[in-house]
Amino acid sequence: MKFSSLIGKSINSVLIAAMALMCVQAPAMADIVSTEQIATEQRTDMQREAVRSFLDRDDVKAQLEARGVDADSASQRVDSLTATELSELSMQIDTLPAGEGAIGFVIGLIVIFMLLDIAGVTDVFPAI
């Protein structure tokens, strides 16, 4: 009888301690968040999404795999980039030419054909 009474008291003590700890709450911490901080976080999220969508393209996946990089691990690494690294990578993706020099080459060909047509060597543009 003493043993079951001792177990009952022990269980009651543990339950009372658990209930008391459940009532204790951590103090709430609040700071003022500036518009700049929110804008920076949103910009970072947009840049992260832009890099992810770039890595999801089939041609990019093929190039990564051709160089021995797993496309899934590359997209996972995007999550570990700092805001500065992400900004630099996103800016490079946005500024990299997609057919470098193609427009200049086409304009150059048109100018050459026009000059040859004016000189009478060719008859590419009959109206000129």
As a dihedral over the C-alpha atoms of residue 85, residue 87, residue 90, residue 95, rounded to 10 degrees, the angle is: -110
Question: Residue 92: inside a domain, yes or no?
Answer: yes
Question: Residue 72: inside a domain, yes or no?
Answer: yes
Question: Residue 31: inside a domain, yes or no?
Answer: no
pLDDT grade for 75, boundaries at 50, 70 and 90: confident
Question: Residue 29: inside a domain, yes or no?
Answer: no
Number of compact structural domains in the chain: 1
Question: Residue 75: inside a domain, yes or no?
Answer: yes
Question: Residue 109: inside a domain, yes or no?
Answer: no
φ, ψ at 72 (rounded to 5°): -70, -40
- Residue pair 113/124 in contact by the 8 Å Cβ criterion: yes
Q: Is 90 exposed, middle or buried (CB count within 10 Å of its CB: 0-12, 13-18, 19+)?
A: buried
pLDDT of residue 64: 77
- Which structural domain, as residue segments, surrounds residue 84? 42-97
pLDDT in tens, 84-123: 887 887 777 767 655 555 566 666 667 776 777 777 776 6
Question: Residue 71: inside a domain, yes or no?
Answer: yes
Question: Residue 70: inside a domain, yes or no?
Answer: yes
pLDDT in tens, 39-74: 888 888 888 888 888 888 888 788 778 877 787 777
pLDDT of residue 106: 63
Mean pLDDT of all residues in 10-36? 76
pTM score, two decimals? 0.48
Among 10, 93, 79, 73, smallest CA distance to 48 is for: 79
Tallying the residues shown for the chain, one arrives at 128
